[in-house]
Structure 1
Amino acid sequence: MTTSESAMNGIDPKVQPSGDGCVECDEAGGWWFHLRRCAQCGHIGCCDSSPARHATAHYRATGHPVIRSYEPGEAWFWNFATDELRETGPALAPPESHPAHQPTPGPAGRVPADWRDAVA
Protein backbone atom coordinates (compact mmCIF):
# COMPACT_ATOMS: atom_id res chain seq x y z
CA MET A 1 0.00 0.00 0.00
CA THR A 2 1.43 3.41 -0.94
CA THR A 3 1.54 6.35 1.46
CA SER A 4 -1.31 8.11 -0.34
CA GLU A 5 -3.45 4.94 -0.21
CA SER A 6 -2.69 4.60 3.51
CA ALA A 7 -3.71 8.20 4.20
CA MET A 8 -6.94 7.61 2.29
CA ASN A 9 -7.71 4.71 4.64
CA GLY A 10 -7.04 6.75 7.78
CA ILE A 11 -3.33 5.98 8.08
CA ASP A 12 -0.47 8.37 7.38
CA PRO A 13 2.76 6.54 8.25
CA LYS A 14 4.85 9.74 8.07
CA VAL A 15 3.08 11.57 10.91
CA GLN A 16 4.87 11.53 14.26
CA PRO A 17 3.01 11.05 17.55
CA SER A 18 1.93 14.19 19.40
CA GLY A 19 3.92 13.30 22.53
CA ASP A 20 4.49 10.76 25.27
CA GLY A 21 1.04 10.91 26.84
CA CYS A 22 -2.61 11.73 26.32
CA VAL A 23 -2.79 15.30 25.04
CA GLU A 24 -6.01 16.21 26.86
CA CYS A 25 -5.12 14.42 30.12
CA ASP A 26 -1.77 16.24 30.16
CA GLU A 27 -3.52 19.59 29.63
CA ALA A 28 -6.05 18.88 32.39
CA GLY A 29 -3.67 17.21 34.84
CA GLY A 30 -5.46 13.86 34.46
CA TRP A 31 -4.20 10.31 34.10
CA TRP A 32 -4.70 7.35 31.77
CA PHE A 33 -4.71 3.57 31.80
CA HIS A 34 -3.41 2.86 28.28
CA LEU A 35 -2.54 5.09 25.34
CA ARG A 36 -3.70 5.05 21.72
CA ARG A 37 -2.18 6.82 18.72
CA CYS A 38 -4.25 8.25 15.86
CA ALA A 39 -2.77 6.69 12.74
CA GLN A 40 -3.82 9.68 10.63
CA CYS A 41 -2.60 12.72 12.61
CA GLY A 42 -0.51 11.27 15.46
CA HIS A 43 -2.76 12.48 18.30
CA ILE A 44 -2.14 10.51 21.49
CA GLY A 45 -5.27 9.86 23.51
CA CYS A 46 -6.23 7.60 26.39
CA CYS A 47 -8.07 4.30 25.87
CA ASP A 48 -11.70 3.53 26.64
CA SER A 49 -10.69 1.92 29.94
CA SER A 50 -9.30 5.29 31.04
CA PRO A 51 -11.64 7.69 32.84
CA ALA A 52 -11.70 10.31 30.04
CA ARG A 53 -11.62 8.11 26.89
CA HIS A 54 -9.88 10.76 24.79
CA ALA A 55 -8.90 8.48 21.87
CA THR A 56 -12.55 7.76 21.11
CA ALA A 57 -13.42 11.44 21.62
CA HIS A 58 -10.72 12.33 19.08
CA TYR A 59 -12.29 9.95 16.54
CA ARG A 60 -15.74 11.45 17.12
CA ALA A 61 -14.43 15.02 16.78
CA THR A 62 -12.20 14.47 13.74
CA GLY A 63 -13.50 11.38 11.95
CA HIS A 64 -9.98 9.90 11.97
CA PRO A 65 -10.96 6.22 12.11
CA VAL A 66 -7.76 4.27 12.82
CA ILE A 67 -5.77 4.09 16.04
CA ARG A 68 -2.76 2.04 16.99
CA SER A 69 -1.77 0.96 20.47
CA TYR A 70 0.87 3.28 21.92
CA GLU A 71 1.92 0.74 24.53
CA PRO A 72 5.40 -0.86 24.44
CA GLY A 73 5.35 -4.23 22.70
CA GLU A 74 1.91 -3.75 21.09
CA ALA A 75 1.44 -3.10 17.36
CA TRP A 76 -2.30 -3.68 16.77
CA PHE A 77 -4.61 -1.26 14.96
CA TRP A 78 -8.31 -0.58 15.56
CA ASN A 79 -10.68 0.99 13.04
CA PHE A 80 -13.55 2.80 14.79
CA ALA A 81 -15.53 3.13 11.54
CA THR A 82 -15.57 -0.62 10.83
CA ASP A 83 -15.04 -2.04 14.35
CA GLU A 84 -12.12 -3.97 12.88
CA LEU A 85 -9.02 -5.11 14.76
CA ARG A 86 -5.79 -5.74 12.86
CA GLU A 87 -2.89 -7.40 14.65
CA THR A 88 -0.40 -5.66 12.36
CA GLY A 89 -0.28 -2.81 9.89
CA PRO A 90 2.09 -0.36 8.27
CA ALA A 91 5.07 0.95 10.19
CA LEU A 92 4.40 4.39 11.62
CA ALA A 93 6.90 7.18 12.25
CA PRO A 94 8.82 6.64 15.49
CA PRO A 95 8.48 6.38 18.34
CA GLU A 96 6.17 3.35 18.28
CA SER A 97 5.14 3.66 21.93
CA HIS A 98 5.39 5.84 24.98
CA PRO A 99 8.76 5.57 26.76
CA ALA A 100 9.26 2.19 28.41
CA HIS A 101 10.10 3.88 31.72
CA GLN A 102 6.70 5.64 31.79
CA PRO A 103 4.40 3.63 34.07
CA THR A 104 1.06 2.12 33.12
CA PRO A 105 -1.25 3.54 34.26
CA GLY A 106 0.41 6.90 33.99
CA PRO A 107 1.86 9.33 34.20
CA ALA A 108 3.84 8.94 37.39
CA GLY A 109 2.58 11.20 40.14
CA ARG A 110 -0.93 11.71 38.77
CA VAL A 111 -2.46 8.22 39.13
CA PRO A 112 -4.75 8.00 42.15
CA ALA A 113 -4.23 5.21 44.67
CA ASP A 114 -7.72 3.86 43.89
CA TRP A 115 -7.17 3.85 40.10
CA ARG A 116 -8.50 0.30 39.73
CA ASP A 117 -11.94 1.51 40.80
CA ALA A 118 -11.96 4.07 37.97
CA VAL A 119 -10.90 1.75 35.13
CA ALA A 120 -13.78 0.60 32.92
Structure 2
Amino acid sequence: MSDENIPGIDPQVSPSGEGCAGCMSDDGPGWWFHLRRCAACGHIGCCDSSPSQHATKHSKATGHPFVTSFEPDEDWYYNYATEQLHPQGPQLAPPTSHPADQPVPGPAGAVPTSWQEQLH
Protein backbone atom coordinates (compact mmCIF):
# COMPACT_ATOMS: atom_id res chain seq x y z
CA MET A 1 0.00 0.00 0.00
CA SER A 2 1.52 3.32 -0.98
CA ASP A 3 1.22 6.63 0.84
CA GLU A 4 -1.10 8.07 -1.81
CA ASN A 5 -4.72 9.06 -1.23
CA ILE A 6 -6.41 5.78 -0.30
CA PRO A 7 -10.21 5.53 -0.03
CA GLY A 8 -11.05 4.59 3.55
CA ILE A 9 -8.03 6.31 5.09
CA ASP A 10 -8.20 9.91 6.31
CA PRO A 11 -4.74 10.98 7.51
CA GLN A 12 -6.12 14.20 9.05
CA VAL A 13 -8.47 12.57 11.60
CA SER A 14 -7.22 12.38 15.17
CA PRO A 15 -7.79 9.30 17.36
CA SER A 16 -10.96 9.24 19.46
CA GLY A 17 -9.04 8.85 22.72
CA GLU A 18 -6.32 6.95 24.53
CA GLY A 19 -8.22 3.69 24.99
CA CYS A 20 -11.00 1.55 23.56
CA ALA A 21 -14.10 3.73 23.24
CA GLY A 22 -16.43 0.75 23.72
CA CYS A 23 -14.70 -0.70 26.77
CA MET A 24 -14.47 2.73 28.38
CA SER A 25 -18.20 3.35 27.83
CA ASP A 26 -19.20 0.22 29.78
CA ASP A 27 -19.81 -1.86 26.63
CA GLY A 28 -17.74 -4.81 27.78
CA PRO A 29 -15.47 -5.75 30.64
CA GLY A 30 -13.69 -2.37 30.74
CA TRP A 31 -10.26 -3.60 29.64
CA TRP A 32 -8.47 -4.61 26.45
CA PHE A 33 -5.41 -6.49 25.25
CA HIS A 34 -4.25 -4.33 22.30
CA LEU A 35 -5.74 -1.25 20.66
CA ARG A 36 -6.65 -0.57 17.03
CA ARG A 37 -7.41 2.74 15.33
CA CYS A 38 -9.94 3.16 12.53
CA ALA A 39 -8.09 4.87 9.67
CA ALA A 40 -11.30 6.50 8.41
CA CYS A 41 -12.66 8.17 11.54
CA GLY A 42 -10.09 7.67 14.32
CA HIS A 43 -12.30 5.42 16.48
CA ILE A 44 -10.15 3.49 18.96
CA GLY A 45 -11.30 -0.09 19.56
CA CYS A 46 -9.85 -3.21 21.11
CA CYS A 47 -8.27 -6.00 19.06
CA ASP A 48 -9.80 -9.37 18.23
CA SER A 49 -7.86 -11.05 21.05
CA SER A 50 -9.65 -8.75 23.52
CA PRO A 51 -12.91 -9.97 25.08
CA SER A 52 -15.14 -7.42 23.29
CA GLN A 53 -13.43 -7.10 19.88
CA HIS A 54 -14.67 -3.52 19.44
CA ALA A 55 -12.41 -2.62 16.48
CA THR A 56 -13.92 -5.34 14.27
CA LYS A 57 -17.44 -4.50 15.48
CA HIS A 58 -16.83 -0.86 14.53
CA SER A 59 -15.66 -1.81 11.04
CA LYS A 60 -18.68 -4.05 10.47
CA ALA A 61 -21.11 -1.40 11.73
CA THR A 62 -19.61 1.48 9.73
CA GLY A 63 -18.09 -0.19 6.67
CA HIS A 64 -14.76 1.49 7.42
CA PRO A 65 -12.27 -0.96 5.91
CA PHE A 66 -8.89 0.00 7.37
CA VAL A 67 -7.57 -0.30 10.89
CA THR A 68 -4.06 0.35 12.12
CA SER A 69 -2.31 -0.54 15.33
CA PHE A 70 -2.60 1.97 18.18
CA GLU A 71 0.35 0.38 19.97
CA PRO A 72 3.74 2.10 20.30
CA ASP A 73 6.25 1.30 17.55
CA GLU A 74 3.71 -0.45 15.30
CA ASP A 75 2.60 1.08 12.01
CA TRP A 76 0.89 -1.67 10.02
CA TYR A 77 -2.60 -1.51 8.48
CA TYR A 78 -5.23 -4.20 8.08
CA ASN A 79 -8.02 -4.11 5.50
CA TYR A 80 -11.14 -5.85 6.81
CA ALA A 81 -12.74 -5.88 3.34
CA THR A 82 -9.88 -7.77 1.68
CA GLU A 83 -8.51 -9.43 4.85
CA GLN A 84 -5.03 -8.23 3.90
CA LEU A 85 -2.29 -6.99 6.19
CA HIS A 86 -0.23 -4.06 4.90
CA PRO A 87 3.15 -3.48 6.57
CA GLN A 88 2.91 0.28 6.08
CA GLY A 89 0.64 3.08 4.95
CA PRO A 90 0.05 6.81 5.22
CA GLN A 91 1.14 8.68 8.33
CA LEU A 92 -1.92 9.50 10.44
CA ALA A 93 -2.54 12.53 12.64
CA PRO A 94 -0.92 12.21 16.07
CA PRO A 95 -0.90 10.61 18.45
CA THR A 96 -0.20 7.35 16.65
CA SER A 97 -0.39 5.18 19.77
CA HIS A 98 -1.75 5.09 23.27
CA PRO A 99 0.48 6.74 25.89
CA ALA A 100 3.71 4.81 26.43
CA ASP A 101 3.04 4.56 30.17
CA GLN A 102 -0.34 2.86 29.62
CA PRO A 103 0.13 -0.86 30.36
CA VAL A 104 -0.69 -3.71 27.99
CA PRO A 105 -3.22 -5.03 28.63
CA GLY A 106 -4.91 -1.89 29.87
CA PRO A 107 -6.03 0.38 31.22
CA ALA A 108 -4.18 0.39 34.52
CA GLY A 109 -6.34 -0.80 37.39
CA ALA A 110 -9.04 -2.38 35.22
CA VAL A 111 -7.36 -5.58 34.05
CA PRO A 112 -8.43 -8.69 35.98
CA THR A 113 -5.84 -11.13 37.29
CA SER A 114 -7.38 -13.82 35.05
CA TRP A 115 -7.02 -11.69 31.87
CA GLN A 116 -5.02 -14.34 29.96
CA GLU A 117 -7.88 -16.82 30.33
CA GLN A 118 -10.29 -14.31 28.78
CA LEU A 119 -8.42 -13.71 25.51
CA HIS A 120 -9.79 -14.98 22.20
Tell me if 1:35 matches 2:68: no
1:119 is matched with: 119
Shift of 1:60: 0.6
Give the RMSD, CA atoms, in angstroms.
Answer: 1.0
CA offsets, 1:43-64, max 9 Å, x none?
Answer: 0000000000000000010000
1:106 is matched with: 106
Tell me if 1:23 matches 2:21: yes
| Percent of paired sites with the same residue | 60
Q: Distance in 2 between matches of 1:87 and 1:60?
A: 22
SS of the residue 1:37 aligns to? strand
Residue correspondences, number: 116
Q: TM-score, normalised by structure 1?
A: 0.94
Which structure has greater helix proportion? 1
Q: TM-score, normalised by structure 2?
A: 0.94
Q: Distance in 2 between matches of 1:80 and 1:16?
A: 20
SS of the residue 2:40 aligns to? coil
* Gaps in structure 1 of 5+ consecutive residues: none
